[in-house]
Amino acid sequence: MSQLVQIAVLDDYQGVARQFADWTGVQAQADVTVFRDHLAEEAAIIARLQPFQAVCVMRERTPLPRTVLAALPNLKLVVSTGSRNAAIDEAACQELGIELRHTGYVMSGAPEHTWALLLGVARHLAPESSGLRANSPIWQTTVGVDLAGKTLGIVGLGHIGSKIAQYAHAFGMRVVAWSPNLTAEKAAAAGAELMSKEALFRQADFVTIHLVLSARSRGSVDAAALALMKPTAYLVNTSRGPLVDEAALVDALTTRRIAGAALDVFDQEPLPADHPFRTLPNVLATPHLSYVTEATYRVFYQDTVTALLDWLAKTVH
């Protein structure tokens, strides 16, 4: 049996972990196993990870709660891409003696993808492109929505939300914003007008969510908030699925209470095969691609390799 350190790289969906970083130094000292598939059941995750001393996770694709961490006696290191990972129990890592390291991050991907989705849902790109590819006898089936002159409501005016405000101004939109601790001064500095949550949902033609997921923010966009939206308004969420009450959103979309939604994040990822978001005609959905860019992956995997080499230098004698 090999005495080399065993390292697992999880959820490499595209099979590009080795493409974006040089793993030669790591592989000289350890056996590296890359998994391209995704496991959702805790028991299956525990069984897979039993042999490994180090596990590299991609964002929050595979959660590592206390129940999983405690069942992995060989585990000594977790390297997570991104500056934080809400799916890892940090307190459990400390108590169990598991070192937790994070990588850098590239900020441009999320706002760019958000704007792509907003434009896509406004111009009905998904159904129009599908019709063209299917050789539909009807050449045009929808009428797009102009952005110029419309109101964009930003829920969460942090780094990403502020960048979205810049994009919106470039397209001639009015920008309003709300978050629990946002002040009028901070909103104005980002080029937005502070207003109440209720007023934002009533006035906005597009609402885009950019809150950090926490116990307080979970379900911030609930049935009551959705009921305030115009029937011509669209919801965009590229932050985290649980920020929105998913059942309430499905109902609002099914009954056409709102015009549509552009979504990159979901309560459960990958999205179940029978989920309504896969088939609702007024939904533009992507599989959590906001951070999936060449620049971001390069930082993620190169920083992962650097963390592994540093840890191996202290561990392998």
Residues assigned a catalytic role: 240, 269, 288
Exposed (0-12), middle (13-18) or buried (19+): which is 138, by Cβ within 10 Å? exposed
**How large is the angle between the packed helices 109-122 and 159-170, nearest 10 degrees?**
50
Q: How many CB atoms lie within 10 A of CB 129?
A: 11
SS3 assignment, position 260:
strand
Q: What region does 155 belong to: left with phi over 0, alpha with psi -120 to 50, or beta? A: beta
89 close to 112: Cβ distance less than 8 angstroms: no
Q: What is the CA radius of gyration of the chain?
A: 22
For residue 276, give the DSSP letter.
G
Q: Kindly give the residue spans of alpha helices, DSSP state H, lying in 37-137.
A: 42-49, 66-69, 90-96, 109-122, 125-133
First to last CA, the chain: 18
104 close to 285: Cβ distance less than 8 angstroms: no
Cα–Cα distances (Å) from 295 to 83, 210, 241, 298, in that order, read 15, 21, 24, 5
Considering only CA atoms, which of 15, 305, 284 is closest in space to residue 129?
A: 284
How far apart CA 308 and CA 317 sit, in angstroms, is: 15
Considering only CA atoms, which of 209, 205, 294 is closest in space to residue 258?
A: 205
SS3 assignment, position 64:
strand
- What is the edge-to-edge ordering of all strands in the sheet holding 54-57? 30-34, 5-9, 54-57, 77-80, 99-102
